[in-house]
Structure 1
Amino acid sequence: MALTLVLVIATIGGYAYYRYLDSGIDRRPFNVGKSRPPETGALNVLLVGSDSREGDNKKYGPQSQHLGERTDTIMLLHISPNRDNATMISFPRDSMVLVPECQGHNGGVLPAGIKQINAAFNEGGIECTARTLESLTNIKINHFVKVDFTGFKGIVDAIGGIEICLPKPVNDPKAKLVLDAGKHVVKGEQALGYVRTRYALGDGSDLSRIQRQQVFLQQVMKKITDGGLLTDPGGLNDFLRAATKSVTVDEGLTLERMLEIANSVRGMTAKELKGITVPTEPWPQDKNRVQFAQPAARDFFENVRNDVEVTKAPTPGKSSAPAVKREQVRLQVLNATGEEGKALQVADALAAQGFVVTQVGNATPTPTTAIRYAKKDAADGPAYGEAVAARLSKDKRTPVEGKVKATVSQPYTAKTPPAKMPKGPVIQLVIGKDWPGVRVLSAIPDSLKDKVVDTSTNPCL
């Protein structure tokens, strides 16, 4: 919400209004520590829902005043380096994880240990939560946004409410939600009750509640980007004012930074936002708790880190000819790492992305991965090689002229043969010991596709 609110800030008022909004945002220091994951070009924003009972939130439990704040909602909004899709990753509050050493609210040191994941926020605040997530995922968190009960209601009210769908009547005194089955437009207490209710809907688990929260945020995104809010000056002003006073963010998330981010995601709509919950399984010591399921969780985090590449703008004065498509590229994959089976593993990954792999084999060991084309293909070989380079992780590789001789080579059989064999040059991918890996087309692996929440998900959960 804090990022979306500035999409059209420059068009609705002058500098004074801009600064007025900026002055209404509560900003806090965000010192996660010195040892952190590397930058990848992606944008990762930690979103938490606070159950603080201070101030206007007192009515939700006066007995909990001055007892700190907890979070039942922990999400990581991951926006790809290309800024063309977003993945909303939810971490179940009941997950038992290794929380690293953190600084507590009283300034003391909290020792590392196995704890419920939301204990990091309760005991060490947003910085301990971020440090915990970075240690678990190896994904660098750039910013945070925190919303409490009152702030959440204010934002939903400012956009005119959100449509939900209930599969059955609900009467949940704990969440203060009483509604009949069917569709409803909810605001205020009803909206808050819907995202908080747990035992009255689904299977009563936190995992079921997470799905409803993701569906709700899909509806919020749709209302903002597709619902006419951005072309309604009055409604937009109400939304901007509500959003700025409803969130707490890090000091680095200035309005200038928000505007920079917002401009980069200007074309994104609700259909590009996908929700997913980290794969979990029952925790052996207590079946009411869960732990990350391996290797599914580890593979998922790796996919997020190896996100789609940044598309660079054409260099002035250079050709803007269409880029070579993956299905136009014939590819020979050679293993020069000495690791058995590496060529076939990489060939499968690239073939799944549309490349026409013709051969796999081995080559003399080399420390450096290279993309090569034949001397006779000097005219168009670089363009075809660039298509391969774009799918490798980390730093961009420049295709080079001249192929190496394979020590062993054999035909490759694709699981899904191409409809038509392309006629372009054969590109040679030599896998060195510094092999960076293949970039994924989606942060969500095929094994988790049925767990995705997006605009096509049935809202009656």
Structure 2
Amino acid sequence: MSREATHRHWGYWASTIVTAILVVALVVAYGYYRSLDAGLKRQNVSDALGRQRPPETGALNVLLIGSDSREGDNKKYGATSHGLGERSDTLMLLHVSPDRDKVTIVSFPRDLMVIIPACQNAAGAPIASGLRQINSAFNDGGVVCAMRTVEATTKLRLNHFVKVDFTGFKGIIDALGGISVCLPKPVNDPKAKLVLAAGNHVVNGEQALGYVRARYSMGDGSDLSRINRQQIFLSQVMKKVTDGGLFTDPAKLNSFLQAAIAAVTVDDQLSLERMLEIARSMQGITATQLKGVTVPVQAYPADKNRVQLAQPAADDFFTRLRNDVETSKVAGPNPSASANPQVKIPNNKVRVQVLNGSSQVGLAKKVADELAAQGFVVTETGNAPAAAVTQVRYAKRQQDGAPYADTVAGRLSKDKRTPVAGKVKAAGIEPFTSPKPSATPTTNPSGPIVQLVIGADWPGVRVTTVIPDSMKDKTVDSSTNP
């Protein structure tokens, strides 16, 4: 056989071997994938939730439910509760921004009094709507009732739910190799089954469960204090997952995935394909982008052991969550007429008139304040003829007004951002007299004036952060001392 034929012979066998290896690898990967999928417990909630729900905003909202079920291996945490169902020991909303670059975990105190919508129990019997503790929604009506309650309270659409019980939680923590915590004083809590000395510890699954469950032996004994500890613990878990080398260690990753799959129950729409889609969209996010906060609450007058939403702070916070939407493009039937769509105008260089063409009284002033707080120079507010559609206008003769209009349009929520060239009128508009926030420059820019006409479809001003300044001192993030 010639040398050339020998080379061809070995080349043929080499390519065949490589192909065979790739085929085997794909089969193994697919088999692994299917084994994970087969181990995932799912519950159909889509049909029961129906269609009368809040609209999609582009954000990802997942309800996290910590179940205190005493069934199976959980019996040792309360044998007297065995067979009595499950309650939501922990209820959290995982909110991921539409750009998938920020994560906010919102905790709901179990003692929070809210209106529970009409639901059904496990046997299908009706449960009347009424004012009750939020954790009773899950206890009485299961996951569907809990999701309906959170949607009714926040006006946010929940995309998925994830439920985890005691045993599943322990398995996840053990698969991560434990989590670092710090105790200011020793703890001996028989109820939580936690005994630890003061100081730094790397707690295993059993200890971690006691750490997040303990109430009266740690902090001030309140549920709010326990929530704060749980949020700090979750930030440390996030740090261990994203920054601890988990994804570069196949053995650790496999242990974690196997534990996670065994630990949770999810909705019927949260397939592994959907999980991979979410994971890819959040690629690169780290623990520094995660923030934990508790909904604003105050004492419930009828019972000192209960709390209620503090208004208007709670509504403002939920509005911020709803308005945390896409800003990467200007959408609508009439795209921007900007000659150079790459031009970016800073907010503090844009002068804007705000005119109310909707039926909501006082909306121009409210919107003007929100824009001014983001640095825009609001020159005037007033009323406009009734308008069905919100528009951002600039003068036809000022073609350089298009990028300025784009800047205003980019701060509006949803898809009602349609800069159009039109006549900007100054006559008959009341001057904007409310105090300017410190973020607004004292010197007026000289660019063209943009006119925002608020229509009946007003989408709202997109927030720069979902957590207002009034809640910043109660926010937990990766820098919080554990």
TM-score normalized with structure 2 length? 0.87
1:217 and 1:411 map into 2 onto residues whose CA distance is 45
Q: 1:13 to 1:207 in 2, by over 3 A?
A: farther
Residues in 2 aligned to 1:347 and 1:156: alpha-carbon distance in whole angstroms: 48
Q: How does 1:331-342 map to 2 (within 5 A)?
A: 331-337=352-358, 341-342=362-363
* Equivalent residue, structure 1, for 2:370: 349
Q: Which amino acid aligns with 2:397?
A: K
CA distance in 2, matches of 1:104, 1:341: 43
Q: In 2 relative to 1, CA 12–80 (structure 1 residues): closer, same or farther, beyond 3 Å?
A: farther
Do 1:363 and 1:405's aligned partners in 2 also have CA atoms closer than 8 Å? no
Matches within 5 A, 1:172-211: 172-211=189-228
Does 2:429 match 1:414?
no
Q: Is the CA contact 1:44–1:79 (under 8 Å) kept in the aligned structure 2?
A: yes
Q: Does residue 21 of the first structure (1) align with residue 36 of the second (2)?
A: yes
Instruction: Decide whether the 8 Å contact of 2:60 with 2:97 is kept in 1.
Output: yes
State the match for 2:100 in structure 1. 83
Q: Distance in 1 between matches of 2:98 and 2:367?
A: 23
Shift of 1:140: 1.0
Range with greater deviation from structure 2 (289-298 or 145-154): 289-298
Equivalent residues of 1:363, 1:404 under 8 A apart: no
Alignment of 1:343-422 (within 5 A): 343-378=364-399, 380-406=400-426, 407-410=428-431, 414-416=436-438, 417-418=440-441, 421-422=444-445
Give, in angstroms, the shift of residue 326 of structure 1.
2.2
Residues 136, 293 of structure 1: CA spacing in aligned structure 2 closer, same or farther, 3 A cutoff? Answer: same
Looking at structure 2, the residues matched to 12 and 414 of structure 1 have their Cα atoms a distance apart, in angstroms, of 64
Q: Is the 8 Å Cα contact of residues 50 and 70 (structure 1) preserved in structure 2?
A: yes
Paired residues of 2:405 and 2:450 also in contact (CA < 8 A): yes
Within-5 A mapping of 1:202-221: 202-221=219-238
1:38 maps onto 2:55 in alignment: yes
Unaligned runs of 5+ in 1: 1-9
Shift in Å at residue 433 of structure 1? 4.2
* Secondary structure, aligned partner of 1:301: helix
Letter in 2 for 1:455: S
Indicate conservation of the 8 Å contact 2:390/2:416, yes or no.
no
Task: For structure 2, list consecutive stretches of 5 or more residues without a partner in the other structure.
Answer: 1-24
Whole-Å separation in 2 of the counterparts to 1:285 and 1:100: 21
Shift of 1:197: 0.4
Kindly state the Cα deviation for residue 454 of structure 1 after the two structures are TM-superposed. Answer: 1.0
Identity of aligned residues (%): 63
Task: Tell me, yes or no, if the aligned pair for 2:424 and 2:450 is still in contact at 8 Å.
Answer: no
CA deviation map 1:303-359 (0-9, x unaligned): 1111132424999xx977353332332223234447665433322211211223334
Structure with bigger gyration radius: 2
Q: CA RMSD in A?
A: 2.4
Name the CA distance, whole Å, in 2 between partners of 1:248 and 1:121. 14
1:337 and 1:33 map into 2 onto residues whose CA distance is 30
Which moved further from structure 2: 321-330 or 347-356?
A: 321-330
Matched to 1:326, the amino acid is N
Which is further off, 331-340 or 167-176?
331-340
1:193-342 equivalences under 5 Å are 193-312=210-329, 321=342, 323-337=344-358, 341-342=362-363
Shift in alpha-carbon separation, 1:138–1:336, aligned structure 2, 3 A: closer
What is the total number of aligned residue pairs between the two structures?
447
SS at 2:84 equivalent: coil
Offset at residue 456 of structure 1 (A): 2.2
Query: How big is each residue's C-alpha offset from its partner over 1:391-415, in whole Å with a ceiling of 9 and x where there is no partner?
Result: 1123232111122323124366622
Under a length normalisation based on structure 1, what TM-score does the superposition of the two structures give? Answer: 0.91
Alpha-carbon separation, structure 2, partners of 1:58 and 1:232? 34
Whether the aligned pair in 2 keeps the contact of 1:308 and 1:441 (CA below 8 Å) is no
Distance 1:266 1:11, change over 3 A: farther
Higher relative contact order (CA 8 A, sep 6+): 1
Which of 153, 157, 179 is matched with 2:170 structurally?
153
Give 1:361 deviation, angstroms: 4.0
Alignment of 1:165-176 (within 5 A): 165-176=182-193
Change (3 A) 1:419 1:180: farther
1:29: Cα distance to partner? 1.0
Contact 1:390 1:396 survives alignment (8 Å): no
Q: 1:289 to 1:300 in 2, by over 3 A?
A: same
SS at match of 1:377: coil
Q: Which residue of 1 aligns with 2:72?
A: 55
